Structure 1
Amino acid sequence: MTDVVPHSRLLDIRRIFVEPEAAALPRGQQVLARFPDAERVEVDSHTRIPELYGDESNVARWVRIKTETLVLGVKKSLTARPNGRSADFIAPSTANGCAMACAYCYVPRRKGYSNPVTVFANIERITGYLSRHVARQDVKDTPNQCDPHAWVYDIGENSDCSLDARVSDNVRDLVACFRDLPSAKASFATKHVNRDLLDWDPRGRTRIRFSLMPARDAKLLDIRTSPVAERIAAIDDFVAAGYEVHVNFSPVVVRDGWLDDWAELLDQLDAGIGPRAKGQLAAEVVFLTHNDRLHEVNLGWHPKAEEVLWRPDLQQPKRSQSGGWNVRYRIGHKGRYVAALTELITARTPYCRIRYAF
């Protein structure tokens, strides 16, 4: 496995499953025009495509489906869910799925045996909803771990917005929407460096969280993503372009030598960014949570990843809301792991405020 794939090879769209309502909207027409040679397959619903979701044989074609397939639909239900950890609210998705193939990603747990990008074409309805939702909030007069002043909306819970921006202008429209909302910020995590975003003039109203992990872990787990060194090298440029830039140390995988590798990564980060980036840097620290259903999927296409992700000797199960089993590091042991890493972050990058760690 390798984590280096040119963006031109991440998406080679040959088939688009499309809802007629989405195809009739301007954003849907834009997406279809971007991939003029792709076969179009009309579907009643973007969530009910039997040959994509629920077909176990698709596991063997996991990456190929991500590369060659796109789904174009309409987001029916619009809600901004309270969060309180990374963001105050989770915004309605403008996409889900991904062309990258991180072995620990939770999104495929809900979708079955393939996980291509789904783009929602009703972007005007989504941005209108968000503007009205922000307007209904009182002034944020109590600082919290999300932000001291602004209401933070995560716009990329189920996808990677930097990669979504190569498919449609949805993310650009969201950045423009929040640019004019002085009491709110957009936020998203990414493992894909897309320098097209540098021209979008966010004016401090969009927070990008570059996800980082030691190169040894990334090579095994962060499949088809931008190399970690490239993500670090992009931080200064995105700060200069008007973004607030944080980092996600996520997921933290416990294995032999893990703390030594994290020390090396922190030193790389310290050497790779300048004073302006350091002055505004903050981090989220998230230890691995894995899932029995994703474990079974991964065994079909990337079993080596499961040697570090699925560790019954270190993990304990907990029933998930969807009826499966999540596994996370054992209570007691995990507290020691969190303390060891946060102490290391404080020692190696003392300017990096830890927003939360769990």
Structure 2
Amino acid sequence: MTSILPNDGSAGRVPIALADRLLDIRRIYHEPNIERFARAQQVLDRFPDAQRIEVPSHQAIPGLYGNEGNVEDWVRIKREVLVLGEKKSLSARRNERSSDWIAPSTANGCAMACSYCYVPRRKGYANPITVFTNIERITGYLDRHAARQGVKPAPNQCDPVDWVYDIGENSDCSVDAMVSDNVRDLVELFARIPNAKASFATKLVNPDLLGYDPRGGTRVRFSLMPAETSRVVDIRTAKVADRIAALDDFVEAGYEVHLNFSPVIVHEGWLTDWAELLEQIADGTNERTKRQLAAEVIFLTHNEGLHDVNLGWHPKGEELLWRPDLQQLKRSQSGQWNVRYKSPWKGRWVQELTDLIAVKLPTCRVRYAF
């Protein structure tokens, strides 16, 4: 087993090559008077050479959002652009699948470029990181919200004891932590809230998080898929082998560690690839990690609008993601038309994969699969 910790056992900084590959901030769009927030000043100080451009709102940036021509610069914008804004509307939304609640976002967008990501569908041809700088208001809201819930009355698929808050619905917290201390503040908050825990999925190994003190109050869900598929669709993410190598270290650092098998992409030979991945996880983790593992299994949902965007910057990924011979239209809860794998094939494939997990990784319970 390979550790991501230095030899002295202390947490390391994010490797320079990784940070440079993901972020080279040249422009920062910001709302008026954003410097009144200490968190905004921290980010501005972190990127002192970046051009600062004032905009009326983080949601309406002329030339960035809604500009179809930006598709050709998809990755460059993610690497070079940052947005600072204030999160004005705070609410925790019921979820009851991966988490009990979706917390108010402290960031939106991502420096990585997974070609199946749903967030760009809403942002319009560009998806850089937006940092919400009123972090004290957000953490205060969450503290009060958790207090109002009281003791969780009964176990559910989210957690047997704690109320679970997803803190990374629209971003990857491991990347966000490279830009500001918002994630550190959230981890510290949930370390001291007695009846709740934070949760986020990630495709990046950020060793800085090992220096936090989560005390079991944060669940990190490492997203995994077979390496060959990941190389095509998980653009600018950590290697699958590196994510597996990180599992033991994050458990040792005080995190609860789960697995996010998502999205499951069906292609010729897909189940054989998943068998190999599950064996890699079993061989690459110690018994302590295995005993606390749980997983969620989510098969691919795609969207014609995103398909059209992806054709402009990464058509190779669409050879895996866009399979009309295997997919059918289905309207989402939000009213959008998406494509999902055909029934009843999907039901059979879900059963085949969950059966495989039970054989190859028997200590890992499947929290839900669809």
TM-score (structure 1 length as normaliser): 0.97
Unaligned runs of 5+ in 1: none
Partner residue, 1:317 = 329
Deviations 1:23-81 (A, max 9, x none): 32100000000000000000010000121110000000000000000000000110000
Q: 1:200 aligns with which of 212, 218, 230?
A: 212
Unaligned runs of 5+ in 2: 1-16
- Counterpart mapping for 1:323-342 below 5 A: 324-342=336-354
> Structure 2: how far apart are the matches of 1:40 and 1:323?
37
> Structure 2: how far apart are the matches of 1:42 and 1:322?
32
Q: Which amino acid aligns with 2:247?
A: I
**TM-aligned CA deviation for residue 225 of structure 1:** 0.2
**TM-aligned CA deviation for residue 330 of structure 1:** 1.0
> Structure 2: how far apart are the matches of 1:12 and 1:118?
15
Partner residue, 1:72 = 84
Q: Which amino acid aligns with 1:173?
A: D
- 8 A Cα contact 1:94 1:120, kept in partner: yes
Find out whether 1:114 has 2:114 as its counterpart: no
Partner residue, 1:284 = 296
Find out whether 1:346 has 2:358 as its counterpart: yes
- 8 A Cα contact 1:292 1:324, kept in partner: no
**TM-aligned CA deviation for residue 138 of structure 1:** 2.7
Partner residue, 1:52 = 64
> Structure 1: how far apart are the matches of 2:334 and 2:34?
28
**TM-aligned CA deviation for residue 198 of structure 1:** 0.5
Find out whether 1:357 has 2:356 as its counterpart: no
**TM-aligned CA deviation for residue 8 of structure 1:** 2.0
- 8 A Cα contact 2:327 2:342, kept in partner: yes
Q: 1:124 aligns with which of 104, 122, 136?
A: 136
Partner residue, 1:39 = 51
Secondary structure of the equivalent of 2:325?
Answer: coil
Q: 2:175 aligns with which of 163, 171, 181?
A: 163
Secondary structure of the equivalent of 1:317?
Answer: strand
> Structure 2: how far apart are the matches of 1:237 and 1:311?
38
- Counterpart mapping for 1:219-238 below 5 A: 219-238=231-250
Find out whether 1:184 has 2:196 as its counterpart: yes
- 8 A Cα contact 1:97 1:158, kept in partner: yes
**TM-aligned CA deviation for residue 90 of structure 1:** 0.2
Q: Which amino acid aligns with 1:179?
A: A
> Structure 1: how far apart are the matches of 2:336 and 2:35?
35
> Structure 1: how far apart are the matches of 2:205 and 2:33?
32
Q: Which amino acid aligns with 1:272?
A: G
**TM-aligned CA deviation for residue 200 of structure 1:** 0.6
> Structure 1: how far apart are the matches of 2:74 and 2:152?
43
**TM-aligned CA deviation for residue 322 of structure 1:** 5.8
TM-score (structure 2 length as normaliser): 0.94
Deviations 1:73-116 (A, max 9, x none): 00011000000000000000000100000000000000000100
Deviations 1:276-303 (A, max 9, x none): 1001000000000001111010000000
> Structure 1: how far apart are the matches of 2:266 and 2:131?
34
Partner residue, 2:163 = 151
> Structure 1: how far apart are the matches of 2:331 and 2:293?
35
Partner residue, 2:101 = 89
- 8 A Cα contact 1:22 1:122, kept in partner: no
Find out whether 1:11 has 2:11 as its counterpart: no
> Structure 2: how far apart are the matches of 1:114 and 1:320?
23
After superposition, the CA RMSD in angstroms is: 1.0
> Structure 2: how far apart are the matches of 1:21 and 1:263?
53
Q: Which amino acid aligns with 2:256?
A: E
Partner residue, 1:308 = 320
- Counterpart mapping for 1:21-40 below 5 A: 21-40=33-52
Q: Which amino acid aligns with 2:297?
A: V
Secondary structure of the equivalent of 1:41?
Answer: strand
> Structure 1: how far apart are the matches of 2:182 and 2:241?
27
**TM-aligned CA deviation for residue 238 of structure 1:** 0.4
Find out whether 1:134 has 2:178 as its counterpart: no
Give % identity.
Answer: 71
Q: Which amino acid aligns with 1:271?
A: D
Partner residue, 1:252 = 264
Partner residue, 2:6 = none
Secondary structure of the equivalent of 2:306?
Answer: helix
Secondary structure of the equivalent of 1:301?
Answer: coil
**TM-aligned CA deviation for residue 199 of structure 1:** 1.0
Secondary structure of the equivalent of 2:312?
Answer: helix
